[in-house]
Amino acid sequence: MKEGDWSFEVQYQFVRAFAIPDKDVSGIGRGNVLKDSVTAPGARGNTNYKGWRFEGFYALTDDLTIDSIFEFSQAIKNKIGGSHHYSKFELETIYAF
């Protein structure tokens, strides 16, 4: 990347409760830090969500870039894992030489 380059990406994700195994979710998810399975009693799992992800990338110099990510999701069906909202903001700088 060269100084002044930028990119922006928007994603919408809709994942039903049993579409894929919980451990294989690589998208937004539901913020399941305990790594509960959606099949365990009272657990929320990492599927059964709909959400958005926004990512912006900007090169301050040829070697230094800023990457920002904002994502949020909510349950599709509250009967599976309960009503739950999740959001995350991440800001990172990357130095490549």
> What are the structure tokens assigned to 58, written together?
């900007």
pLDDT digits (tens, 9 = 90+) for 1-41: 799 999 999 999 999 888 888 778 888 888 777 777 777 76
Residues 5 and 64: beta-carbon distance below 8 Å: no
Backbone angles phi, psi at 23, to 5 degrees: -70, -15
Please give the Cα distance from 46 to 71 (Å, whole number): 14
Q: CB within 8 A of 54, min separation 6: which ones?
A: 8, 9, 10, 69, 70, 71
76-94: average pLDDT = 85
Please give the Cα distance from 67 to 8 (Å, whole number): 10
Phi-psi domain of 25 (left: phi exceeds 0; alpha: psi -120 through 50; beta: other): beta
pTM: 0.82
